[in-house]
Each structure stands twice: as structure tokens, then as C-alpha cells.
Amino acid sequence: MLNDLQNIAKDIDSLLLNDPFPETVKPDYLRSAVRDYPVRGGKRLRPALVIWCCELLGGRREEALYPAAAAEVYHNWTLVHDDIIDQDVTRRGKPACHITLQEELNRFQLSPTDAARSGRDFAILAGDLQQGWATDLILRSAEHGVTAEKILLILRKLEQYANVELISGEALDVEFSLRNVESVPETEVREMIYLKTGALLRFCAETGAVIAGGTSDEIDHLGRFAAAAGMAFQLRDDYLGIFGDFSSFGKAIGGDLREKKATLLLSKSIAMASESEKNTLLSLLGKEEYSAEDLKIVREIMQKAGDAVRQEAQNLADESKQILMSFPDSPARARLLALVDYLIDRQI
């Protein structure tokens, strides 16, 4: 699975690096910004999902390649706008898009305030251009054997899942950080997670299925498989954010607490805690740093909720694998099954 994932990453890297779409963008630093995130690499899980779901139903990989690249570009424009909104300064170990642009704009001798604002303004436009680029990549799959009717169906799904649902998920995530995070009930957190993480994966899986000419049942099954796997991944990620091992998790443990992020783990913990535990937990939200002692207290309070979330992640992973098992055995099925394990089991 990992070997083929690397092959797909190589194909996507090369396609995006050479794609003509950004070439006529002006000015030049905006053109570079449009290509920047999409060619920064990454595991290319979304393209793999498009391609393997296509192959699972007997479709041809070359027909799936452009829509696969489109899913990656779509994901990346949402990151460009997210990074502005979350005021993140880095992305995959490099400066965030708006920071890179801010530095480029120093050529105009701006004040620091104006440079920051203009960097942000051009990053808004970079993301806007990338949304168009993603659509254009899907349109160009017509030159690689995908029929016009299939392309229309894929684009309808793009606007439903990747535009309305994904952006609604991002908006809810922002809203939760403006509300008292402890007031956000589990059901709303769960919906936000599906929208923010599951919806684009559903788009990927269904797109692969459409390209392969799948029946509407097959398309729907693969969509549910991907949404469940995505939810499982996100719940596991939230769990590891508190209970993980720093050296293998890679991110700082407790980061979600510091950012008062609405996770299912936090909602469940608050719902299950005694009044005094709840007050202790709330008093520990939003700290600059977490000592070993802080984390010990948090983990004790969150233990029961943590077990429940881990179990729910496992159930979702099982559910997603069960859906896959209803398809005949094939190399693509084996890869998709391994992908679910990879998403869930890593770093434990």
C-alpha cells in the first residue's frame, strides 16, 4: 500500500508542478502562491482514495488522475483560507501562504501593518484562484477519457460535499471557538467533524466510483466507507492529541486544549465529568504550556471519555472496512483496507 501511495504522490506532484492553469496568473508572486501549497507534497491520501475507489470498481487509473489532483488542489485552497482565518504562520514546515506573500510584498516598502494586511489580501485571492484550478482539473479529465456526463456528476458532488459541506464545517469550527467551547454539545461537534473531514473524503471516493461507471449503490457505499474512515481518523487524532506519546505523535500533546478546540473528546469529557472535575478541566483550557502534572490531571479526568472516543473510532474503522469487504477481493480493495488501518493504527 505505502509503495503505491508513493507512486501516486509522484504522479500528482509531477502533474501539479507542470499544470498550465496557474501560468497566466498575474502578478508573478500571486502565480507562485497559487502553485505553492499544492506542490509542497504530503501523503496525497485524497488522490489515492479517488484512484483506488476507481480501480476497485474496475476503472482505469489514468481517467482518475486529473480528478485526483483536483481533490488535492481543492483541499489546499481550503488550507490557504484556513491559515488566514486561524492565523497560522506555518504549513508543512514552511511559511503559511499569507506569510510568504507578506514577505514578497516587502518589495513595495510597506509598513509592517500594511504588509501583513496585503499578504492576507493576496492569499485570499490565491485560494480563490485555486478553487477555480480544482474545477478546471476536473474539466480536463474529458481529455483523458472521462465522459461529459460523468464530469457533470463529479462537479455536482464537488459543490455539494467539498464546497457547501466542507466550508460549513470550517465555519462551524470557527464558530465553536467563539462560543464557550464547553457549551457545544456532542451532536454539533460530531456534525462539524463529518463536514470538515468526512465530506471531502466522501467526494474523493464517490468520484473514483463515478469514473469507474459504478452503480448508484456502489457510489453510495464507497461514499459512506470514506466518510466513516475520515471520522475514525479524526476521532483517533483527537484522542492522540491528549493520550498520545509526544515522540511518535509529532504534534505537541495538549495543543487542542491550548487552542480550546471543540473536539468530541472534550465535549464528552465535560458531559461525563463531575462538577469539580469539569471546573478543573475548564480552568486548564487555553494555557500557554502544559506541564507533565497538568497533562496527568487532564488525562485522569478525560480517561472514561477517552476510552469511549477510542472505541467509537475503532467502530467507525470497522464499519468502513466492513463496507469494503462487501466488494470482491482485489489489489485496490487490499490497499483501501490497509489505508484504513494506516489512518487508525499509526502512532499508537
Which residues would be at the binding site for its own copies (CB under 8 A)?
21, 24-27, 30, 81, 84-85, 105, 108, 110, 114, 118, 121-122, 124-125, 127-129, 131-133, 135-136, 139, 142, 147-149, 151-152, 155-156, 158-159, 162-165, 167-168, 170-172, 174-175, 178-179, 195
CB of 135 to its own copies, least distance (A): 6
Q: Which is nearer to its own copies, 139 or 295 (CB)?
A: 139
Q: Which residue type sits at 186?
A: E
- CB of residue 76 vs its own copies: minimum separation in angstroms? 13
Task: Output the smallest distance, CB 70 to its own copies, in A.
Answer: 12
Residue (191 or 319) nearer to its own copies, CB: 191
Nearer to its own copies, 124 or 337 (CB): 124
Burial class (CB in 10 A: 0-12, 13-18, 19+), 185: exposed
In whole angstroms, the minimum distance from the beta carbon of 264 to its own copies comes to: 18
* Three cell numbers written together for 274: 463531575
- Residue (24 or 274) nearer to its own copies, CB: 24
Helix (H, G, I), strand (E, B) or coil at 320: helix
Q: How far is CA 53 from CA 2, 46, 73, 227, 337, in A?
A: 16, 11, 19, 13, 11
The single residue listed with the C-alpha cell 463515478 is 210
CA atoms within 13 A on the CB side of 78: 21
State the nearest-atom distance from the C-beta of 315 to its own copies, in Å.
26
CB of 29 to its own copies, least distance (A): 9
Report yes or no: 32 and 15 within 8 Å, Cβ to Cβ: no
Alpha carbons 270 and 281: distance in angstroms, whole number: 8
Round to whole Å and give the CA distance between 128 and 47. 21
Closer residue to its own copies in complex, CB, 194/239: 194
Nearer to its own copies, 129 or 209 (CB): 129
Residue 137 or 340 having the CB closest to its own copies: 137
Strands 94-95 and 90-91: antiparallel
Minimum CB distance to its own copies, residue 232 (Å): 23
User: How far, rounded to the nearest angstrom, does the alpha carbon of residue 110 sit from its chain's CA centroid?
Assistant: 34
Residue 38: is the preceding peptide bond cis (ω within 30°)?
Answer: no
Could you count the other beta carbons within 10 Å of the beta carbon of residue 331? 12
